[in-house]
Structure formats: C-alpha cells, structure tokens
C-alpha cells in the first residue's frame, strides 16, 4: 500500500546519492518546479480561489446589499482550511463542505459555488486514492446543494437574483433549471477533481516504484562490484602470499647449505612481493576509479608464461601442454583463464604434499564446422541443444590442473589456511562464460581441477 509520503516533495525523501539527478525526480517545466516547492503550489491554489471569489463577489451586493459582507467569514474559513489540505485532507474536506453548504444556504447564487470542495477532493484523492476521494467528495457536494430546496424562500425574501435577470433569463432558463445545471456541473467537477488527484497519485506511485527498482539495482550492482573486487584481491593476495611463504621456507633451508642460492631465493621473494604490491595497487585503482579489471591485463600468453614461471620458482614441478588453436586475445576471457589457473596452482602450493608432478592442460576445442552445425540443425537440434551436447558454436576451452600429491583420504594434505572462497570464485568466473568448474580428488592420488569455458564470439 502506498503511504502518504507520495505527496511529499521528492527532494525531501531519502534517496541514495545521485538519484536526485534522475529526470523522474527532478521533473520538468513549471509542473516539476511546483512539485519541488509544494508550499508555493498551495499558495497558488489558495490564490486561485481568492481570485475567483473576488471576481464574482461584487455581484452579491446587487442581491444582498450590505448583507453580502456576511459571505466573507465563510470565504475566510475555506481559505484557512485549504492551507492544510495537504496535511489533513479529510478534515479540510469536511470543514470546507460545511462552509460551502452554509454559503449556499445564505446565498444560492454565490459565484464560486463548490470550488473549495474541488480543491479539497483533489487533496483527499491524492492522499488516499480515488475511491476515498469520491465517497467523501461527492456526498459532500450533494449535502451542500440540498440548500437549493429552499431557493423559493430565498427568492421571496430577496426577489429575483441578478444572475437570473442578466444571465439565465436571456438564455430562457427557469430558476430551477439554472440551479439544477449548476448543481450537476459542480457535482461532476468535484468527481473530476478527485480523478485528477488519483491520477497524480498513480503517477507518483509509479515514480516511487521506478526509484525503488533503481535503488535495488544500485545495491545489486554494488554487491556485484564488491564481489568482483573481493575475487581480485583474493586471487592476488592468496597467490602472492603462497608463493612468498614457499620461497621463504626454501630460503631458510637453503641458507644453511648454499648462502649464494639463498640470496637468489630471497631476491625472488622480494620480486614476488613487489609484483603483489603492484597488483594490489591496480585492483585498488579499479575500485577507486571504476576501471575495468580486464582492461589492465596484458596479452594472455605473456600473462600465463609469467604465472608458470612464478610457480616454478616457488618449487612446483610444473608441466604445461596446450592443444588446439591459441586462446582468443580477449582481456576479460584471458583474465578468467589466468585467475582459474592461478587459484588452482596456488591450492596445490598450499595444500599438496609429496607432489612430484603438476600438470596444466589447456585444450581449445573449436566449434563444429558450419556444415556440421547445419546438419545438426536439420536433425532438429537447436543451438542450445548443441551446446548442451558439448558442441557450442563458439567451441570450448577446457582447463585441467592435476597434481600427484597425497590423496586427501589419507589425511596427509595440509590443513586449509584459506577462506574457502577460492573454488566458489572460480565457479563465478566460469559462469560469466557459460562454464563450470569441478574440483576434487584425482582417480589415484592428488587433486584435480577442471574448468570448461565458452570463449567469447568474435565481432
């Protein structure tokens, strides 16, 4: 249910930073300006009512003489009540209805008729909806015009009205017909006023829904961005620290036997730390400046060669094989491949024991030939069906990292020192390319990670 806050100025409502710049909030033209300044709009409404009153009020002296001065208190009550139509619409409508009924009872021909009630009915519909606006405004209008039943008594006391002699009689209308037309016209005008208020309410409700949708999207985007940065930081820190710990352990052992080699290891340790610091600065720059992480990567070949060399320096007996065409030089795809391999090898370095061989296999399987795709399509297999059978039109890239360390079932793998988010992060990255990741024990011993990705289409 929409709350009364719909009638408040959008500038006064709590919105996330930057939302005030949306065109739907700022509004356009005079209408938008008045919506941002509701008090000014209320003053204009009251001014319109006062102008209508002043325009027709002098004619009352033709019919009532000095008695027309008694109309002023009724007008004043209506003007005062309209000042609060936004904050207390139902109370204002009731008070205005009573004042209008009293004015019509005193002077049926008073020119502004039920215009005060129209403004009040608009405010009620704006706050509470069309149904409430109609079931309060229309009966109030009928109540006010019940005074027309006493018009003959008024005519006997004051004689024919100036309006009848100069306006309605020339049109050939009787007194009953004239007053009936006025009553019917104002009855529908009150209903139309409530309808306009309800329409404005629906428009503002829609704006609030759009703003709420935008706010939720902003929150989701922020969460996605935080997760993206968290993945980057996890990959950078986990990889670099694992390599540095391994190098530090090696340096401690080598220092006793070969001080010169220990110096080389410490130099590698220092270089790894500087590289990690540079990667962290890059990721923080992405967070601060909103750059694309993938755009900062080098060509995938150079990136992977450096990755392999770092792990070899850390002591992993690493062998790499690449089958099929070269991987596509797409920055985002290259970053995904890099991070999956990096996380897999980092886990081997962290948890593997008695590892004598680590194998990295990269298979680039091109998609089927156009003739083969047409043949499968002729058999009733759609593109989605072909992809489900492992034959997507763009092909597949399969990454497999296997080590021969002690099987986890033997209880000799190292205790986990990570956050448990590495495999989850790999799955998220693979999902961006319609892929999947398996991580688990190899058939005989060791651990295997297998990721299947669909490379991006060219063009």
Condensed to tens digits (0 to 9), the pLDDT of residues 8-40 reads 444 344 445 554 445 445 556 666 666 777 788
Identify which of 38-52, 129-143, 207-221, 405-419 has the greatest average pLDDT: 129-143
Please count the other Cβ atoms lying within 10 Å of the Cβ belonging to residue 242: 23
Query: Could you give the domains of the chain?
Result: 10-218 (no CATH), 300-459 (3.30.565.10)
DSSP labels for 175-215?
HHHHHHHHHHHHHHHHHHHHHHHHHHHHHHHHHHHHHHHHH
Rg (CA), the chain: 40
pLDDT-derived band at 458 (thresholds 50, 70, 90) equals low
Would you state the pLDDT for residue 402? 93
CA distance 246 to 200: 68
DSSP 2: -
pLDDT-derived band at 1 (thresholds 50, 70, 90) equals very low
Burial of 266 (0-12, 13-18, 19+ CB in 10 A): middle
Reading the block at residue 53, the tokens are 């009153």
CA–CA distances in Å: residue 221 to residues 214, 227, 228, 422, 431: 10, 10, 10, 21, 17
Check pLDDT > 60 for residue 284. Answer: yes
- Identify whether the C-beta of residue 422 lies closer than 8 Å to the C-beta of residue 239: no
E-only strand ranges, 299-403: 318-323, 358-365, 396-403
- Identify whether the C-beta of residue 213 lies closer than 8 Å to the C-beta of residue 140: no
Helix axes 115-128, 89-106, angle to 10 degrees: 160
Instruction: Give the tens place of pLDDT for each residue, 61-80.
Output: 878 888 888 888 888 998 89
Would you state the pLDDT for residue 435? 86
Check pLDDT > 50 for residue 414. Answer: no
The SS3 assignment for 437 reads strand
Which range (2-6, 279-283, 355-359, 403-407) has the least confidence?
2-6
Q: In what order do the strands lie in the sheet with 318-323?
A: 318-323, 358-365, 396-403, 447-453, 436-441
State the residue for tokens 């204009």.
Answer: 44
Secondary-structure percent of the chain, ordered helix, strand, coil, rounded to 5: 70, 10, 25
Check pLDDT > 80 for residue 196. Answer: yes
- Identify whether the C-beta of residue 25 lies closer than 8 Å to the C-beta of residue 15: yes
CA–CA distances in Å: residue 222 to residues 216, 218, 229, 234, 287: 10, 6, 10, 18, 11
């Amino acid at each position: 249910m929409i709350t009364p806050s719909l009638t408040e100025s959008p500038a006064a409502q709590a919105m996330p930073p930057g939302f005030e710049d949306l065109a739907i909030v700022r509004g356009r033209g005079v209408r938008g300006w008045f919506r941002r300044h509701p008090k000014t709009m209320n003053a204009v409404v009251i001014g319109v009512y006062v102008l209508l009153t002043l325009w027709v009020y002098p004619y009352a002296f033709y019919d009532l003489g000095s008695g027309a001065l008694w109309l002023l208190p009724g007008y004043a009550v209506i003007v005062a009540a309209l000042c609060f139509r936004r904050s207390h619409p139902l109370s204002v409508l009731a008070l205005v209805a009573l004042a209008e009924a009293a004015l019509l009872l005193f002077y049926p021909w008073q020119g502004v008729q039920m215009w005060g009630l129209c403004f009040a009915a608009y405010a009620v519909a704006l706050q509470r909806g069309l149904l409430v606006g109609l079931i309060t405004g229309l009966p109030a209008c009928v109540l006010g015009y019940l005074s027309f039943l006493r018009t003959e008594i008024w005519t006997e006391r004051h004689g024919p009205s100036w309006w009848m002699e100069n306006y309605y009689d020339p049109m050939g209308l009787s007194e009953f017909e004239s007053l009936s037309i006025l009553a019917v016209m104002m009855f529908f005008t009150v209903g139309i006023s409530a309808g306009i208020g309800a329409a404005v309410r629906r428009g503002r409700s829609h704006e609030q829904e759009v703003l709420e949708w935008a706010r939720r999207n902003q929150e989701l985007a922020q969460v996605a961005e935080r997760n993206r940065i968290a993945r980057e930081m996890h990959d950078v820190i986990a990889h670099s620290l694992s390599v540095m710990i391994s190098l530090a352990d090696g340096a401690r052992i080598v220092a006793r036997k070969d001080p010169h080699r220990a110096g080389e290891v410490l130099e590698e340790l220092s270089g790894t730390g500087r590289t990690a610091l540079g990667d962290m600065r890059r990721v923080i720059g992405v967070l601060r400046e909103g750059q694309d992480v993938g755009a900062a990567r080098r060509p995938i070949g150079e990136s992977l060669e450096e990755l392999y060399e770092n792990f070899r320096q850390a002591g992993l007996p690493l062998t790499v094989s690449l089958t099929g065409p070269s991987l596509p030089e797409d920055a985002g795809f290259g970053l995904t491949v890099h991070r999956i391999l990096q996380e897999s090898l980092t886990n081997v370095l962290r948890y593997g024991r008695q590892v004598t061989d680590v194998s990295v296999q990269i298979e680039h399987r091109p998609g089927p030939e156009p003739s083969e795709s047409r043949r499968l399509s002729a058999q009733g297999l759609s593109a989605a069906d072909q992809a489900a059978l492992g034959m997507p039109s763009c092909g597949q890239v399969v990454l497999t990292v296997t080590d021969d360390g002690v099987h986890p079932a033997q209880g000799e793998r190292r205790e986990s020192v990570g956050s448990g988010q590495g495999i989850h992060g790999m799955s998220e990255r693979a999902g961006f390319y319609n892929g999947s990741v398996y991580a688990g024990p190899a058939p005989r011993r060791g651990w295997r990670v297998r990721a299947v990705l669909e490379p991006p289409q060219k063009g």
